[in-house]
Structure 1
Amino acid sequence: MKQSKKLSEIPISVLDLVPILAGKTATDSFQNSLQLAQQVEQWGYNRYWMAEHHNMVGVASSATAVLIGFIANGTSTIRVGSGGIMLPNHAPLVVAEQFGTLASLYPNRIDLGLGRAPGSDQLTAMALRRSLQGSVNDFPDNVEELRTYFSKDNSTSPVRAIPGEGLNIPIWILGSSTFGAQLAGMMGLPYAFASHFAPTYLQAALQTYRDHFRPSEFLKEPYAMVGINAFVADTEKEAHYLASSLYATFVNVIRGKSQPLQPPVENLDAIWDANEEYAVQQMLRYTFIGEPGQVREKLQDLVDLTQADELIISSHIYDQAARLRSYELIAELKQTPARAAYATH
């Protein structure tokens, strides 16, 4: 039987959705993200990822590659990447050139996480792509095309990614089902599961990934990262208060409304009804709220359950000082944060 990992032994990372706050601007969001990245770098976090979303008034990370450059330029050691780039929205060559440029500017610090969802509604996907003739089932071929552009063996091809060709740019497969898990395993790539909002298939996906894993030139053993939400404060009451902004956001998702991130509220019963509460609680099952001792125990239980190689943490907190404090307290839970064993990805 495999020995359980200790929380102190695995890396922790940040997933930043770059929220636009009610009453603030995207410019404010970018400065908040930079400040957070600089702080978590000092606190020993392993990587800082941002996700591609479109047509959402509460999310400022639509131009993900541009933001990765902004964050990487303002930091010096932390890995910066995409969690993820929604590959169906882009020609693989364009992604190869963008991330080849980033990796040339910030060597050995850029991650390329890929997802097969649009990160938007169908109308927005049409505006991005100009055509919806393709499907998510094209994803494996697009990933392989992208890997080809990064390969040094592509130097004799009539189509080349310059810069990008021959660079070591780690590719991650992201997912919320067993589809991406199987693909990541078969390709011998690291895998990240979106359990912070789609927890249903977490265990099945991790098992599928490990069962199908084939060693590759990129990775000799499976490497799985698990996404969670965490709200840590000096008191449990304060942590629950901070988390109410995230719950309100997901109520709006259910209602089909798009709003900037709202300030926290004392009473969530004033926001949702019983059916909405149940639905949101299901989506946010892997949300850990409390004072440090409570959250430490819950995170260790998660590591025991999943045998995750790394945790990536989203803290969708309205107040910037409270958001920084939450990540600081999480870092302290690990006592001596470790860098990833698979250091180049």
Structure 2
Amino acid sequence: MTTLSEVTLSVLDLAPIRKDGSIRETLDNTVTLAQTVEALGYHRFWMAEHHNISGIASAATSVLIGHVAGQTSTMRIGSGGIMLPNHPPLVIAEQFGTLATLYPDRIDLGLGRAPGSDGATMQAMRRHPRAGVDDFPEQLAELQRYLGDASPGQRVQAVPGQGTHVPIWLLGSSGYSAQLAARLGLPFAFAGQFAPGYMHEALRLYREQFQPSETLKAPWAMLGIPVLLADTDERAHWLATTQQQKFLNLMRGQSTHLLPPVDNMDWMPHERMAVQQNLGATIVGSPDTARQQLDRLLEETGVNELMINTDAYSLEDRLTSYRLLAELQQ
């Protein structure tokens, strides 16, 4: 069983845009957050591809990864994830091959197969509605060819990219990617930050079906979870209303900009239940409370790594939460 002192801690930053804030503020905050958690000893810093979502500024994920990598020095920087069916595999290989050349041994390529957007945005990206549904393994294999050593007579090569062997992770919120990662011997990350309901089953499938590969000899499971720590339980739960409002507004089809905390949530019983289900893996509280919750989560899941996402309205509260969590490992 993995303990809190043994688990690898990493960070997922969704580049949240605050109400009355700006995109430039968000991107500056992303750099500050990355530099801070690097100093605290976090292992990875990942960003995710989302499109046409008013409260998220990481649509040009590869560009932002390069920006953050250039402002840090030791931490691994990567995608959590790139939605592969949105792009030709050759283009992703060229982008991440370039990143890996600029920042050797620091770039991760986490891949998903969802659109990261709605139907209208899929059309705007020229993505076929069935893309990734039936052909994701073939797209992944093509990408791996472009990042691996060139084969004799290979007519199309990724330059840069070929021979960089950028580490690939599969991301998912169901059993599909868990089983594909197991079959290919790749590391697997489960998106518990928004879909915790299938968490245990996906992790079980991954471990039971895992086949060793040149990439990985034993399964390596990462779990994405929302975490928000503060000096007291009361303050942590108050700060957590920012994240609750974001999910509530997402359900209602409204703006997902980060909103300041509120004393009382304005929601219907069924909305409250739905938000709580989406955030079912959330860790909220003081350090003592969070330690108990984290110990229980690690006992239940046995994951090797936690990918922490913290939604708080102010950057200072986000930094405090990551600092308090890092101190729990000491």
Aligned to 1:81: 78
Please tell me the residue identity of whatever aligns with 1:194.
Answer: A
Aligned twin of 2:304: 309
For residues 253-332 of structure 1, the aligned pairs below 5 Å read 253-268=250-265, 271-332=266-327
The CA deviation at 1:135 is 4.1
* CA deviation map 1:24-44 (0-9, x unaligned): 111000000100000000100
Alpha-carbon contact 1:83-1:174 (below 8 Å) kept: yes
TM-score by length of 1: 0.94
Identical positions, percent: 52
- Matched residue, 1:22: 19
Map of 1:157 onto structure 2: 154
Which residue type is aligned with residue 140 of structure 1? P
CA shift for structure 1 position 200:
1.2
- Is structure 2 residue 122 aligned with structure 1 residue 128? no
Shift, 1:137, TM fit = 2.0
Distance 1:124 1:240 in 2: 34
CA shift, 1:131, in A, is 3.9
CA distances 1:162-213 after superposition (whole Å, capped 9, x unpaired): 1111113100000000000000000100000001100111111011111111
Matches within 5 A, 1:5-16: 5-16=2-13
**What amino acid does structure 1 have at the position aligned with 2:249?**
N
Higher mean displacement: 121-130 or 322-331 = 121-130
1:206 to 2:200 alignment: no
Say how many residue pairs are matched: 330
1:62 equivalent in alignment to 2:59: yes
Q: Matches of 2:68 and 2:171 in 1, distance apart? A: 21
On the 8 A contact 1:231/1:290 being kept in 2, the answer is yes
> Does residue 1:247 correspond to 2:248, yes or no?
no
Structure-2 residue corresponding to 1:113:
110
Deviation per residue, 1:17-63 (Å, 9 max, x gap)? 00011111110000001000000001000000001000011000000
Q: Structure 1 stretches of 5 or more lacking a match?
A: 336-345
Q: Distance in 2 between matches of 1:292 and 1:275?
A: 31
2:135 matches 1:138: yes
1:326 to partner: Cα distance: 0.3
Q: Distance in 2 between matches of 1:304 and 1:45?
A: 21
Q: Which runs of 5+ in 2 are unaligned?
A: none
CA contact (8 A) 1:108 1:168 kept: no
* 308-317 or 150-159, larger mean C-alpha shift: 150-159
2: CA distance, partners of 1:260 / 1:132: 27
For 2:127 and 2:329, the matched residues in 1 are separated by 47
Q: Are residues 1:147 and 2:144 paired? A: yes
RMSD over equivalenced CA pairs, Å:
1.0
Residue 312 of structure 2 aligns with an amino acid whose one-letter code is: I
User: 2:20 & 2:305 partners in 1: Cα distance?
Assistant: 35
Equivalent residue letter for 1:301 = R
With structure 2 as the length reference, what TM-score do the two structures score? 0.98
Relative to 1, partners in 2 of residues 1:318 and 1:154: Cα closer, same or farther, differing over 3 Å?
Answer: farther
Amino acid aligned to 1:258: S
1:133–1:291: structure 2 CA closer, same or farther, 3 Å change rule? closer
CA distance in 1, matches of 2:152, 2:99: 20
Hey, what's the Cα distance between the residues in 2 that align with 1:233 and 1:148? 46
Q: Tell me the SS of whatever aligns to 1:5.
A: coil
C-alpha contact 2:85 2:136 (8 A) present in aligned 1: yes
Preserved contact between residue 77 and residue 108 of structure 2 (Cα < 8 Å)? yes
